[in-house]
Chains A and B, each alone.
Chain A
C-alpha cells in the first residue's frame, strides 16, 4: 500500500495524459447527440419551413419566401403584444407573491424549511392541465371567490381596469393572468429561495449595525444580493409564460388569445405550417432579445 502511494504519481502521468484528451468529449457525446437530434435538426427544419410556400395537400416547396414573416406579423402582432404584457404582468405578480415566501422559507422557517419546500413542489405531482382546469372551478360564477369579489366590489375594480368585461371572473384577462401566475409560481419561488438561502445572515446584521433601518437593509443589502435569484426566477417564469397556450384557452376568451395559442392552432387546425413556423421564430427571437436586454440591465454579472 505504501509502495503504491509512493510510486503511484510517478507511474500515473503517461497513462492519464493519454486519457485526458478524450474522456470529457466522450462524456459530452450523449448530451450533444440528444441536442443535435431533438433540437438542432427540428430547428433547422422549422427555419426551412418558415420560408416555404405551398399547402398541406399539395406539399411545400422551398422558395425563401420572407413574405411569410411579414404576413405572420401583420396579422398576429396584437397577440404577440398581449402575450408579452400577460407574461410580464404574471411575472411581476409571481415575484411579489414569491419573494416574501422565499425569504421566510430561507431565513426564518427553521425546521419547517423542508416541509415548506415540499409544499411548494407539491403541485407538480398533478398535471399542469388539471391544475389549470381547477381554476375554472375556483373562479366559477357560483363559487365562493366570485361572491366575495362581488361583495367587496373587487369585480368593479377589475372591470374598471378592463381586466374583466362583466361581474364574472372566468373567461377574462384576469383569469388568464391568475392562471399564469399560479402555474409559474414555483419557478419563481425556487430560484429566489436558493438565492436567499445562501444569503449570510451576518450581512443583514452588519447593515443594521451600520445604522440601516430594516427597510434600508432590504433595499441596500438583501435585494441586491438576491438579484441572481430574481433574474433566474423571472426568466423561468416569463419565458414559458410568454409562449403558454393552455391558460388562455382554458381560462380566457376570444379577446385574450395568446401567441402560443395562435401557433398551436396554425399548426394543428389551420395547418398553415409556414406561418406557424414563422411565428415560432419571431417568438423565439423576441424572447431572446428581451431576455438579453433584461439580463444586461439587471447587471447580475457583477455579482458573485
Chain B
C-alpha cells in the first residue's frame, strides 16, 4: 500500500504464446488508477489470458507489467497486491463465508481480520449469512461473497473474470448496477473481462475491445459506439450497416461519397487525408424512414436531405419499443433500420421506402477490413442484447 505500488496498471509490449498459439500479441495498455475498465471481446480473443497475466496466474512470454512504477512481471500471484473475482467464484467450500472473506487478511496477518471481513460483507449486504458455507448460498450471493473476498484486501487492482456470466439476466442487470456503485464507493481500479458488450457499456468508464490477441480500440463506451475504429468494433458493439463507398470530392467540411451510384455525404474529419475507398458505416437507429422517393418530405426530414437511399422493405418486426426493418437496396444489400415507436412514419413489408440520415451520424472504416468481422459473435450473443 506504499506509494511505490499504487498507481496506474501498465501493460507494456505483452505477448503470450501457448506452444504455437499466440493468445496475446504485442499488447500495450494503460489502465488509470481508480477507473472501471472493461476488456471486451469474443471468446478466445485473449482477454482472460491478459487478466490472468495481471493476476500472476500466467507468465507473459514477452513484455512487462507495472503497477505505478513497480515492475511486477516476475512476482508470484501471492506477492501481488491484486485480487481476482473468479468466473466460478472459487469460494473455499470447507470455510464459512466470513472465513472465506478473511482468508486474504489472515495470510497478511491483519490483526482485526474478522471485523474487516464483516465490514466487507455488510458492503455487499450479506453480513447475516456470515456463518454459512458457500454451498448453502445461491449463485448471486456467492458472486457477492467472491467480490467481498477480493474487495476486503483493498488491492491496487481488482480483476473480475466474467463475474456475472453464471447469473440469470435479471440478476445480472441488478449486479451490474451494484458493482458499479461499489466501485465508485471504494474507488479501486476494476478490470472487468467480459464478452457481453452491453455489460461492458453499462459498467465501464473505458473499454478495450480485443480481437485475436490484439487491441481493436480503447475508448469510452459512447466513442466506441459512435466512432468505431474498425469493422470488428462496428459489428461487435451493436449493429452496423456498412456501405462500400469511394470519395468523389472534398469540399470544406464535407466529403462527397459515391455509394453504388448514389451520392452521400460525410464530415471530412471522419476521413484520413489519403482515403479514397472506405466502408461508410451507419447505425440502424440513425436511419429514418423519410418521405416518398418523389421528394414530398416533411419539415422534420429536411436535415436528412443529403443522405438518401431508396429500397424495398423485406421484413418488419415490431418489438414494442421500436420496429426493426430490413430494407433491400437495389445493389442487393439489406440494411437494418430501427425506427423508434414514437408515432412517426411506419412501413409494411413490400413497401418502397426512402431512408435518410444526418451526415454526422456516419463513420468511415478501412475498406480493406472484412465487413462482417465480429458480426458472427454478435449473432451468438444476441440473447444478451
A257 to B77, CA, bound (A): 53
**Complex contact A209–B94 (CB within 8 A):** no
Main secondary structure of the interface of A (DSSP, over half): helix
A257 to B88, CA, bound (A): 53
Give the interface size bracket for B toward A: 20 to 34
Q: Is A116 an interface residue (CB 8 A)?
A: no
A216 to B103, CA, bound (A): 11
Q: Lowest 6 A-B CB distances belong to which pairs?
A: A210-B104, A206-B90, A211-B107, A202-B90, A208-B77, A224-B94
Q: Is B66 an interface residue (CB 8 A)?
A: no
Q: Which single residue of chain A is at the shortest CB-CB distance from B87?
A: A202
| CB-contacts of B100-119 with A (<8 A) | 103-104, 107-108
Residues of B with Cβ closer than 8 Å to A? Answer: 55-57, 76-79, 82-84, 86, 88, 90-94, 103-104, 107-108, 133, 135, 149, 153
A221 to B93, CA, bound (A): 9
Q: Which single residue of chain B is at the shortest CB-CB distance from A206?
A: B90
Which listed residue, B56, B79, B83, B90, touches A203 by the CB 8 Å rule? Answer: B90
**Complex contact B149–A200 (CB within 8 A):** no
Given A200-B88, A202-B88, A208 and B94 contact (CB-CB distance below 8 Å): no
Q: Which single residue of chain B is at the shortest CB-CB distance from A299?
A: B94
**Complex contact A212–B57 (CB within 8 A):** no
Q: Is A225 an interface residue (CB 8 A)?
A: yes
A200 to B94, CA, bound (A): 13
**Complex contact A205–B93 (CB within 8 A):** no
A303 to B135, CA, bound (A): 10
Q: How far is the CB of A115 from chain B (nearest CB, A)?
A: 22
**Complex contact B84–A206 (CB within 8 A):** yes
Q: Is A75 an interface residue (CB 8 A)?
A: no
**Complex contact A209–B55 (CB within 8 A):** yes
Chain A to chain B contacts (Cβ below 8 Å), 25 pairs: A202-B86, A202-B88, A203-B90, A205-B77, A209-B57, A209-B78, A209-B82, A209-B83, A210-B83, A210-B107, A210-B149, A210-B153, A211-B104, A211-B153, A212-B78, A212-B103, A212-B107, A213-B107, A214-B78, A216-B107, A302-B94, A302-B133, A303-B93, A304-B93, A304-B135
Q: Is A207 an interface residue (CB 8 A)?
A: yes
**Complex contact B90–A205 (CB within 8 A):** yes
With a CB–CB cut-off of 8 A, which chain A residues contact B56?
208-209
A182-205 CB mask vs B (1 if < 8 Å, else 0) is: 000000000000000000101101
**Complex contact A207–B94 (CB within 8 A):** no
With a CB–CB cut-off of 8 A, which chain B residues contact A224?
94
**A side interface size, CB within 8 A:** 21
| CB-contacts of A163-195 with B (<8 A) | none
**Complex contact A206–B86 (CB within 8 A):** yes
Given A212-B78, A302-B94, A207 and B88 contact (CB-CB distance below 8 Å): no
**Complex contact A210–B57 (CB within 8 A):** no
A207 to B93, CA, bound (A): 12
| CB-contacts of A285-304 with B (<8 A) | 302-304
With a CB–CB cut-off of 8 A, which chain A residues contact B107?
210-213, 216
Q: How far is the CB of A153 from chain B (nearest CB, A)?
A: 40
A203 to B92, CA, bound (A): 7
Q: Which single residue of chain A is at the shortest CB-CB distance from B149?
A: A210
A304 to B342, CA, bound (A): 56
Q: Which single residue of chain B is at the shortest CB-CB distance from A223?
A: B94
A220 to B82, CA, bound (A): 20
A97-122 CB mask vs B (1 if < 8 Å, else 0) is: 00000000000000000000000000
With a CB–CB cut-off of 8 A, which chain B residues contact A211?
78-79, 104, 107-108, 153
With a CB–CB cut-off of 8 A, which chain B residues contact A209?
55-57, 77-78, 82-84
Q: How far is the CB of A216 from chain B (nearest CB, A)?
A: 6
With a CB–CB cut-off of 8 A, which chain A residues contact B153?
210-211
A212 to B84, CA, bound (A): 14
Q: How far is the CB of B105 from chain A (nearest CB, A)?
A: 9
**Complex contact B86–A205 (CB within 8 A):** yes
With a CB–CB cut-off of 8 A, which chain B residues contact A203?
90, 92
A202 to B107, CA, bound (A): 18
Q: How far is the CB of A70 from chain B (nearest CB, A)?
A: 45
- 10 additional A-B pairs beyond A208-B57, A212-B107, A213-B78, beta carbons within 8 Å, are A202-B90, A206-B90, A208-B78, A209-B77, A210-B78, A210-B107, A212-B78, A225-B93, A303-B93, A304-B135
With a CB–CB cut-off of 8 A, which chain B residues contact A208?
56-57, 76-78
| CB-contacts of A223-273 with B (<8 A) | 224-225
With a CB–CB cut-off of 8 A, which chain A residues contact B82?
209
A211 to B79, CA, bound (A): 6
A225 to B95, CA, bound (A): 10
Q: Which single residue of chain A is at the shortest CB-CB distance from B161?
A: A202
Q: Which single residue of chain B is at the shortest CB-CB distance from A208?
A: B77
Given A209-B84, A210-B149, A212-B103, A221 and B92 contact (CB-CB distance below 8 Å): yes
A303 to B107, CA, bound (A): 23
Q: Which single residue of chain A is at the shortest CB-CB distance from B94?
A: A224
Q: How far is the CB of B56 from chain A (nearest CB, A)?
A: 7
With a CB–CB cut-off of 8 A, which chain B residues contact A205?
57, 77, 84, 86, 90
Q: How far is the CB of A99 from chain B (nearest CB, A)?
A: 17
Q: How far is the CB of B117 from chain A (nearest CB, A)?
A: 12
Question: By CB atoms of chain B within 10 A, which of A202, A209, A211 has the most?
Answer: A209
Q: Which single residue of chain A is at the shortest CB-CB distance from B108?
A: A211
Q: How far is the CB of B75 from chain A (nearest CB, A)?
A: 12
With a CB–CB cut-off of 8 A, which chain B residues contact A212?
78, 103, 107
With a CB–CB cut-off of 8 A, which chain A residues contact B88?
200, 202
With a CB–CB cut-off of 8 A, which chain A residues contact B84?
205-206, 209
Question: By CB atoms of chain A within 10 A, which of B92, B133, B149 has the most?
Answer: B92
A216 to B153, CA, bound (A): 18
With a CB–CB cut-off of 8 A, which chain B residues contact A206?
84, 86, 90-92
Q: How far is the CB of B352 from chain A (nearest CB, A)?
A: 43
With a CB–CB cut-off of 8 A, which chain B residues contact A202?
86, 88, 90
With a CB–CB cut-off of 8 A, which chain B residues contact A207?
92, 103
Q: Which single residue of chain B is at the shortest CB-CB distance from A302?
A: B94
Q: Which single residue of chain B is at the shortest CB-CB distance from A214?
A: B78
With a CB–CB cut-off of 8 A, which chain B residues contact A220?
103
